[in-house]
Amino acid sequence: MYIRPAVFLDNIVNSRIAAKMILAPEHCNCPLVDQGASIVDSYICPGTFYFMILLEAYLKGRCNIANPCTTIKSVDRIEPEYDFIVVGAGAAGAIVAGRLSEHNKFKVLIIEAGDVDPVGSRPPSFYRTFWRDSHLTWNYRTVPDNYCLDQEDGLGCVWPRGKVLGGTTLLNGMMYHRGHAADYEDWVNAGATNWSWEENLPFFDKTEGNKQIGTLVSAQHHSDKGPLPVQQFPYQPDAIYELLNAINETGLPIINDMNDPDTPDGFTIAQTFNENGQRYTTARVFLRPESELPNLHVKLNSRVTRVIIEDNKATGVEFIDENGEKQTVLAAKEVILSGGALNSPHLLMLSGVGPKETLEQFDIPVIADLPVGQNLRNHYGVTLYFVLTKLVNTEVLDWSTVLDYLLVRQGAMTSTGITQLTGLLYSSLADKSRKQPDIQFFFNGFYAECSHTGMVNEIFDDGHMGTNISANAAILLPRSIGNLTLQSADPLDPPLFYPNYFSHPDDLVMIRDGVRYLQQLFNSDTLQNKYGIELDSLTTEKCKDNEDWSDEWIECMARVNTDPQNHQMGTAAIGSVVDTELNVLGVDGLRVIDASVIPTQMTGNPQGAIMMVAERGAHFIKEDWI
């Protein structure tokens, strides 16, 4: 039963037992662990606040949040040879390693450059806390160009990528989307001949464990058989319902399920990867400690620097371990790259698989001349920042929300504020008959992520009157295509990223259409009169010579407040770098299984498709070796 926080506060004041429940760590049958990065002094919540320290201590003391008994530890000593070596424990890699180790005859090693996932990443409200944590991310920036001009340091766009158990699924918004059938028609046309919607469906079903079949969504489009929990967050702030009112007022569609092919477009409260008030990453679901799964070894804080390829066969990998020592480990059967769309192509090039002229430029012996790093696709658009002038800017996180969370896993800490609302709509360039919307909207704000004191109604003072929110209009089928390439032959130097945003004129047409939808919302009675919404003048300053909402203003805003989504893919695509079973062309014993292999864009959040790729990839491997 859900009880309002105020009732809890009364109980706490009157009940020493309840107070003890909060303060004392639980007995979890295993010692408490102090794992991973901290929520204290994050870039979202800068400063060492007593309240945040206490909150973190309470989270670590709860058995089913900290899970000390099932915490994955890095193997101390690895064996000289495994059947399979998986590089990267992100969205895809954790599934591949988990599925392969289901076969107890296989010895599997998964090597992850990052550390264990921090306890603070589990409450969904800390969604943004680790985005710029230099220990948990790869700190990638794009090569500067005429976009992301809001970056005061003059460097390019920030592209957060997770370097941690769970990879980027530890940083993401957790939204579950499978894409639209037409996306997979595009894959087939690009050469992924056996990847049609119908052929992929059973592999989506394998992962998804939907908890709202029959109550919100239909079994026709969802599965409850997989291990990854999918459902709406248990909490929505009032602002979500006001936004839905505004959407309703403008006549834009509101839908229940964005995965229902009959309602491809519309705004909805998304289903996300969460249960019991917590984020679920693929690593949390698919990987197990060695004590439970002895044929799976997890090696953390170890960065793979090269795939060893002899006579065009991958035989192992080199890596730098947690002590900075260079090591080698052999693969009797296959090496699988699951380092993500930015790192897997980097590793391929460092290993001699890539464009001949690039490899020769850096004196890397050419093993296979392939267009690795080309076809870098990413959704992007513009972020517009607003102030709700009629609301006082108070912190959502306070003692009341914390009690709610610790005692019953309810309340604002169980959700991502207004980020759980999303919308898919058609631009004027879309072919509606394909049921493939090409603009997606995201909203940001009302996060329970920071507080100095925990006091209820603590004012968040950033010099603004009112509450800040923002909205993004992102295009899903951008015509601009980027690339990545080597900066040097040193594996520790990051690649160079050239997204080439705005290089095709159609992109601006679609972005303008997206902003026009947001303008409609902005002008709604609800947002104007109830909230007193205004554009945040601090973020429009660089475009002030253009009239607000004019075409010129939209282009200026898009180049200044560029919204690079974090859906990079396509850099080792099926049909040009890997075959239809994900084997690297011209090299035996080497597959790529992650977002890199997706040949054309998804029209939605990509993790669903990436997990499907991982399930299919693991299936192909099993078919070959069992």
Ligand X SMILES: Cc1cc2nc3c(=O)[nH]c(=O)nc-3n(C[C@H](O)[C@H](O)[C@H](O)COP(=O)(O)OP(=O)(O)OC[C@H]3O[C@@H](n4cnc5c(N)ncnc54)[C@H](O)[C@@H]3O)c2cc1C
Q: Which residues are catalytic?
A: 567
Q: Toward ligand X, which CB reaches closer, 175 or 213?
A: 175
Q: Is there a contact between 419 and 496 (Cβ–Cβ < 8 Å)?
A: no
Q: Is there a contact between 435 and 359 (Cβ–Cβ < 8 Å)?
A: no
Q: How large is the angle between the packed helices 197-207 and 181-189, nearest 10 degrees?
A: 120
Q: Facing residues of 598 across strands?
A: none
Q: Toward ligand X, which CB reaches closer, 168 or 374?
A: 168
Min CB(146)–ligand X separation in Å: 23
Q: Does 111 bind ligand X (CB under 6 A)?
A: yes
Q: Is there a contact between 439 and 507 (Cβ–Cβ < 8 Å)?
A: no
Burial 55-74, CB ≥16 within 10 A → b, else e:
bbebbbbbeebbbbeebbeb
Q: Facing residues of 85 across strands?
A: 109, 335
Min CB(408)–ligand X separation in Å: 25
| Residue 59 dihedral angles phi and psi, to the nearest 5° | -60, -40
Q: Contact with ligand X (CB under 6 A): which of 45, 52, 55, 89?
A: 89
Q: Please state, in angstroms and rounded to a whole number, the distance separating the CA atoms of residues 158 and 391.
A: 30
Min CB(55)–ligand X separation in Å: 22
Q: Toward ligand X, which CB reaches closer, 160 or 589?
A: 160
Q: Which residue has the tokens 């029209």?
A: 603
Q: Toward ligand X, which CB reaches closer, 197 or 273?
A: 273
Q: How far apart are the first and last CA of the chain?
A: 48
Q: Does 167 bind ligand X (CB under 6 A)?
A: yes
Site string for ligand X, 483-512 (x = CB under 6 A): ------------------------------
Q: Toward ligand X, which CB reaches closer, 175 or 527?
A: 175
Q: How many residues does the chain have?
A: 626
Q: Contact with ligand X (CB under 6 A): which of 40, 85, 246, 304?
A: 304
Q: How many residues of this chain bind ligand X (CB under 6 A)?
A: 41
Site string for ligand X, 311-350 (x = CB under 6 A): ---------------------------xxxx-x---x---
Q: Does 113 bind ligand X (CB under 6 A)?
A: yes
| All residues at 6 or more sequence positions from 141 whose CB lies less than 8 Å from its CB, including other chains | 155, 156, 157, 158, 159, 497
Burial 321-360, CB ≥16 within 10 A → b, else e:
beeeeebebebebbbbbbbbbbbbbbbbbbbbbbbeebbe
Q: Is there a contact between 424 and 272 (Cβ–Cβ < 8 Å)?
A: no
Q: Considering only residues 599 through 618, tell me which ones interact with ligand X, judged by CB under 6 A.
A: 605-608, 610
Coil/strand/helix, residue 14: helix
Q: Does 570 bind ligand X (CB under 6 A)?
A: no
Min CB(505)–ligand X separation in Å: 27
Min CB(161)–ligand X separation in Å: 5
Q: What are the structure tokens assigned to 553, written together? A: 């203003």
Q: Does 236 bind ligand X (CB under 6 A)?
A: no
Q: Toward ligand X, which CB reaches closer, 65 or 164?
A: 164
Count CB atoms within 10 A of the CB of residue 538: 12
Site string for ligand X, 58-87 (x = CB under 6 A): -----------------------------x
Angle among Cα 330, 87, 342 to the nearest 5 degrees reads 135
Q: Considering only the stretches 43-51, 155-163, 387-395, 521-529, report the one whose residues sit in contact with ligand X under the rule CB under 6 A.
A: 155-163
Q: Please state, in angstroms and rounded to a whole number, the distance separating the CA atoms of residues 460 and 47.
A: 14
Q: Does 171 bind ligand X (CB under 6 A)?
A: yes
Coil/strand/helix, residue 291: coil
Q: Considering only residues 2 through 21, tell me which ones interact with ligand X, judged by CB under 6 A.
A: none
Min CB(113)–ligand X separation in Å: 4
Min CB(258)–ligand X separation in Å: 11
Count CB atoms within 10 A of the CB of residue 528: 14
Q: Toward ligand X, which CB reaches closer, 583 or 605?
A: 605
Q: Contact with ligand X (CB under 6 A): which of 595, 612, 618, 621?
A: 595
Count CB atoms within 10 A of the CB of residue 294: 12
Q: Contact with ligand X (CB under 6 A): which of 52, 66, 72, 175?
A: 175
Q: Toward ligand X, which CB reaches closer, 164 or 413?
A: 164
Angle among Cα 232, 234, 239 to the nearest 5 degrees reads 90
Q: Does 401 bind ligand X (CB under 6 A)?
A: no
Q: Toward ligand X, which CB reaches closer, 18 or 44?
A: 44
Min CB(474)–ligand X separation in Å: 11
Q: Does 172 bind ligand X (CB under 6 A)?
A: yes
Site string for ligand X, 527-566 (x = CB under 6 A): ---------------------------------------x
Give the burial class of 401: count Cβ atoms within 10 A of its Cβ; 0-12 exposed, 13-18 middle, 19 or more buried. Answer: buried
Burial 581-615, CB ≥16 within 10 A → b, else e:
ebbbeebebbbbbbbbbbbbbbbbbbbbbbbbbbb
Q: Does 90 bind ligand X (CB under 6 A)?
A: yes
Give the H or E element holding residue 95. Answer: helix 91-100
Q: Does 91 bind ligand X (CB under 6 A)?
A: yes
Q: Contact with ligand X (CB under 6 A): which of 60, 99, 122, 161?
A: 161
Residue nearest to ligand X (CB): 90
Q: Considering only the stretches 117-125, 167-175, 399-407, 517-525, report the one whose residues sit in contact with ligand X under the rule CB under 6 A.
A: 167-175
Min CB(331)–ligand X separation in Å: 14
Q: Contact with ligand X (CB under 6 A): which of 38, 101, 129, 169?
A: 169
Min CB(116)–ligand X separation in Å: 12
Min CB(491)–ligand X separation in Å: 8
Q: Considering only the stretches 64-72, 109-117, 536-544, 556-564, report the one whose residues sit in contact with ligand X under the rule CB under 6 A.
A: 109-117
CA 404 to chain centre: 26
Evaluate the CA torsion angle 616, 215, 232, 123 in order and state its sign: negative
The footprint of ligand X (CB under 6 A) covers: 87-93, 111-114, 160-164, 167-169, 171-175, 303-304, 338-341, 343, 347, 566-567, 594-595, 605-608, 610
